[in-house]
Structure 1
Amino acid sequence: MLLDTPVRLGIQIRPQHVSYEDIRRAVLTLEDLGVDILFNWDHFYPLSGDPEGRHFESWTMLAAWAEQTEKVEFGALVNCNSYRNADLQADMARTVDHISAKGGEGRFIFGTGSGWFERDYDEYGYEFGTPGTRLTALAEALPRIEARWEKLVPVPTRKIPVLIGGKGEQKTLRIVARHADIWHSFVTPEELAHKVSVIDEWAAKDGTDVSNLVVSNELQRRTTEDADALYDAGVRLFTLGFDGPDWDFDVVRRWLQWRDGKN
């Protein structure tokens, strides 16, 4: 677990109940404020509020962010593995990586997961399966994605960081140990040490190196005291869900001030 990396703040712009003009404005403002990472999510319908409300698709939006922004990293929190062929996901990620590079390295983070929102599956014609079958599919997809990155012409501009979310000890954390650069969860500070030990155990069993794994967690409905406890437990990437169209940028400014106090 990497503890000497700077604290970073990621803002998840929830692409629901807003116009795309609202989202574009939020992206520009948040980059100007100095956030480290911008996230959206990979769903087809709102997760809260009016279930028939406005909503926008993840990957096309990420390509727009790649062109629109100059320095902030970005990705989905998280991509749903079920919705796209593994090799296609790799090619999409590589392309967005190159769009964002602008003379240097790309800024795309490949956040991914097994999927969970049943309405997405039903409405768009994907087989929902079970949590177990979806996790198995994710475990099978990631080696294909990594292999495709090596075959593409051109290859990605950098080793695209892989973020994996979840806390299940038998499947999810083994996938984290095998593939992740960033592990994201909502677990409490008290739970973190145990979960990290499980990741370490899987890494030892599978012969992988997790010494540089960045631990990520969520700030929603948490106080600075909570964030301090997460920091002490090893979290170095903090994410915050952000709702529009009445974006509360003052909340972001306060968390940026807290971040700067840790660095």
Structure 2
Amino acid sequence: MSRPVRIGVQLQPQHAPEYKVIRDAVLRSEDAGVDIVFNWDHFFPLTGDPNGAHFECWTMLAAVAEQTERVEIGALVTGGGYRNPDLLADMARTVDHISGGRLILGIGAGWFQRDYDEYGYEFGTPGSRLTLLKEYLARITDRLRKLNPQPLREIPILIGGGGEKKTLRLVAEYAAMWHTFADLDALAHKNQVLADHCAAVGTDQARIERSVQWPGEEKAPAFVAAGVTTFTIGVSGPDYDLSEIERAVRWRDEINPEPVSGLA
């Protein structure tokens, strides 16, 4: 399956003293030509002042859905244990309608203990969080089929993580996109593990879009050769500097045969 290369921005909702700063960054990102605007699902900053300004993920996604016209939107990624999965499916369906069918449902097992402790969720272990994610993915997909009205499209599920026994199995079963932090050498191995899981569950592994953090213009072609077609650059407040985004978009336009947006 041939896909164009796409560029995403992760507007990390930390250290922005007012929401209007993020609203402006969303506008500048769409104007700059990105394909996807992501945020993240944490309750506190991950870098800088740990008690600095921060905003909530899904409330923001609804606002971004209304503000934008072209880009796909989503969380990179939703914490799997933070919300009732049936409610999350309903939230996703609603934001999908607000956006006109542009939502990507990014989800992972969660890892940042402070989020869990301060908001009253059970942190558990990596294994228990992955077990919960498996249960939640089944409930999310089932609830999406039952909602009235239905989503405007089959909402693509993006799963973040690289665990070979459990996470990649869930990618094979549920995902349209897989986001990994693997380096180039590890990516080749994990691609094969994913292909094996896909064969076991009867999924065409070529339909799963590979996504990584932007490695820079010099290294990006090697990732494309390894099957990656989505690159995401994270930026934080209060300035939301998009200069690297602009460079990545120019590079994308040079290597793509023609401009194409949306999941291929």
1:254 aligns with 2:253: no
Match of 1:166 among 161, 165, 190: 161
Q: Is the 8 A contact 2:74 2:104 kept in 1?
A: yes
Counterpart of 1:136 in structure 2 is 131
Equivalent-residue separation in structure 1 for 2:115 and 2:241 (angstroms):
28
Deviations 1:188-235 (A, max 9, x none): 12222211111111111122232211100001xx33121121111111
Question: Which has the larger displacement, 200-209 or 10-19?
Answer: 200-209
Three-state SS of the structure 2 residue aligned to 1:62 is: helix
Match of 2:205 among 199, 203, 210: 210
Deviations 1:105-154 (A, max 9, x none): x1000000010000000000000000000001111111111111111000
Alignment of 1:1-263 (within 5 A): 2=1, 4-18=2-16, 19-101=18-100, 106-219=101-214, 222-263=215-256
**Structure 2, gaps ≥5 residues long:** 257-264
Q: Is the 8 A contact 2:73 2:103 kept in 1?
A: yes
Equivalent-residue separation in structure 2 for 1:120 and 1:249 (angstroms):
28
Q: Is the 8 A contact 2:169 2:194 kept in 1?
A: yes
CA RMSD of aligned residues (A): 0.9
Whichever residue aligns with residue 189 of structure 1, its letter is L
Three-state SS of the structure 1 residue aligned to 2:9 is: strand
Q: Normalization by structure 1: what TM-score?
A: 0.95
Equivalent-residue separation in structure 2 for 1:225 and 1:190 (angstroms):
16
Whichever residue aligns with residue 87 of structure 1, its letter is D
Equivalent-residue separation in structure 1 for 2:171 and 2:124 (angstroms):
22
Counterpart of 2:262 in structure 1 is none
Equivalent-residue separation in structure 2 for 1:14 and 1:223 (angstroms):
19
Equivalent-residue separation in structure 2 for 1:195 and 1:135 (angstroms):
18
Question: What is the count of residue pairs matched by the alignment?
Answer: 255
Whichever residue aligns with residue 80 of structure 1, its letter is G
Question: Which has the larger displacement, 202-211 or 107-116?
Answer: 202-211
Three-state SS of the structure 2 residue aligned to 1:146 is: helix
Equivalent-residue separation in structure 2 for 1:181 and 1:92 (angstroms):
19
Three-state SS of the structure 1 residue aligned to 2:219 is: helix
Question: Which has the larger displacement, 248-257 or 178-187?
Answer: 248-257
Three-state SS of the structure 2 residue aligned to 1:83 is: coil
- Identity, % of aligned pairs? 59
Note the C-alpha offset of 1:249: 2.3
Counterpart of 2:259 in structure 1 is none
Three-state SS of the structure 2 residue aligned to 1:35 is: coil
Equivalent-residue separation in structure 1 for 2:216 and 2:244 (angstroms):
11
Whichever residue aligns with residue 158 of structure 2, its letter is L
Three-state SS of the structure 1 residue aligned to 2:51 is: coil
Q: Is the 8 A contact 2:159 2:179 kept in 1?
A: yes
Whichever residue aligns with residue 244 of structure 1, its letter is G
Equivalent-residue separation in structure 1 for 2:216 and 2:155 (angstroms):
32
Three-state SS of the structure 2 residue aligned to 1:245 is: coil
Three-state SS of the structure 2 residue aligned to 1:156 is: coil
Q: Is the 8 A contact 2:11 2:240 kept in 1?
A: no
Question: Which has the larger displacement, 247-256 or 20-29?
Answer: 247-256
